[in-house]
Amino acid sequence: MDLAFWRNVSIVWLILFALVFTLVPGVIFYFCVRGMNVVLRKTEMGLKVAQKYSGLTRQVVVTNSDVVADRVVKARMQATKVTTFVTGLRPHKQDDPTMGA
């Protein structure tokens, strides 16, 4: 067994070490990417469902807030009418002859 034999054995040995040390992280990386793809697909479906329900919720909120706002506006309008009517019945200070200058 001469030096050339041991040189060839050590080269093969180093190649096997390099293969193992690059193969293990490569396999781990491969399964991590596959797992992320599965998670992405699952969350995409869940997000579509959540988007649907948030859209429905938005429609209900807009409809109900319009109803409430209409009632508040009508009540404010009635209060303004009553206030204007009552203010019109009272004599103003400038129109009152007993309130001399």
**Per-residue pLDDT band at 12 (split at 50, 70, 90):** very high
**What pLDDT, on the 0 to 100 scale, is given for residue 92?**
67
Give the pTM: 0.43
Distance CA 14, CA 8 (A): 10
User: Phi and psi (nearest 5°) for 99?
Assistant: -95, 75
Give domain limits for the chain: 30-67
In terms of DSSP H, where are the helices of 1-101? Answer: 3-89
**What pLDDT, on the 0 to 100 scale, is given for residue 100?**
52
pLDDT in tens, 56-70: 999 999 999 999 999
**What pLDDT, on the 0 to 100 scale, is given for residue 90?**
76
Residue type, 68: V
Listed in sequence order, the residues at least 6 apart from 99 whose beta carbon sits closer than 8 Å to its beta carbon are: 93
pLDDT in tens, 73-82: 999 999 999 9
